[in-house]
Amino acid sequence: MSQDSVKNIMSYETVALDDENSALVIIDQTKLPGKVEILHLTEQKDIWNAIYLLQVRGAPAIGVAAAFGVYLAAKRIEATSYDSFYAQFLAAKEYLDSSRPTAVNLSWALRRMERVVLENANKSIPEIKELLHQESVAIKDEDVWMCRQIGEYGLSLIKDGDGILTHCNAGQLATSKYGTALAPIHLGRERGMNFKVFTDETRPLLQGARLSAFELFADGVDTTVICDNMASQVMKNGWVQAVFVGCDRVAANGDACNKIGTSGVAILAKYYGIPFYVCGPTSTIDMSVARGEDIPIEQRPAHEVTEMWYQQRMAPEGVNVYNPAFDFADHELITAIITEYGIARPPFTESLKEIFRKKQEAQKK
């Protein structure tokens, strides 16, 4: 891997639409950091696989990819009546929605696209297709704005020179730009600030070692990769002043579902008296889910644990493997939830409602 490829990763778009060629364009994140490979996906099965196989990943990026994907599906529908068009659109929407169960942004973006179809039943099919195009682009543009806002709010909680620990990847590679948990760091770097960041490896898929470290290093951030079981030691050493993590779904009580291992980091941060911040857009907050226990947890294949990163199998053939993709940090362990409309603090049952009130007021203007 050349140093040029490291420097240039931040200039790539994580997810984009090539409307002229009817393609979803993504970075294949399963190949990083060794190879920067850009995929141009035109078939729905390939877009479904890209989401399922984590070629595109991170809750906001998945939402953007789904919006572009279902628009591309709609673009290909040949129907003379609205009912026929909607039936085919709905099938495409439900197909993409089946790719991953935990990240709420997937279904949120697809429902938003479906609403465009439902609210414009009186328009021609070409007009509906163009409205879907506009909505998918708007979802991406809003994602960039959202990430910058989260970065601004997060940056207000830290100071130049702080040590920050993060788990998984909630950076630019998980969104359209900046990221959520890494947005304060990237935004701070734009302003000449310097942080020392510790990135948990994040087993078994190593999103911290492969992706967070990759983009942080490319952005000139002082970055140290640690194994997941080293987090306690770096906290004990006094090297960490804040923990920033992303989220795939937040329950109404503030329980925050994120990549497996997040709950352990939250427990450690509580023990050492380190603030633990969850960063995510309001689209990731699911007020219909009361608590973390009610969030469906995706189970991943065993080979991700036993074989994926090894030249030879590293566990006995036939041994049982438990491989949940996510866990959740209990709301009692979370210092604050940082959204694009402000910072929510305990009790989250009230502060999250206030965040949504602010959002509604902003959208009326």
User: Residue 243: which H helix or E strand, with range?
Assistant: strand 242-245
How far, in Å, CA of 46 to CA of 138, rounded? 23
**CA gap 249, 117 in Å, rounded:** 26
The two structure tokens encoding residue 314: 């590293």
Residue carrying structure tokens 């993709």: 325
How far, in whole angstroms, is CA 42 from its chain's centroid?
Answer: 23
Name the β-bridge partners of 276. 243
Distance, C-alpha 312 to centroid of its chain: 31
Element (H, E) at 152: helix 125-155
Residue 248 falls in the annotated catalytic set: yes
As separate numbers, helices (DSSP H) first and strands (DSSP E) second, the chain gives 13, 13
Parallel, antiparallel or unpaired: strands 242-245 and 249-250: unpaired
Annotated catalytic residue: which of 162, 200, 248, 255? 248
Q: Which residues of 110-139 are buried (b: 16+ CB within 10 A; e: fewer)?
A: bebbbebbeeeeeeebeebbebbbebbbeb
Cα 205 to chain centroid distance, Å, stands at 15
Spell 346-361 as b/e; 16+ CB within 10 A means b. eebeebbeebeeebee
Residues identified as active-site: 248
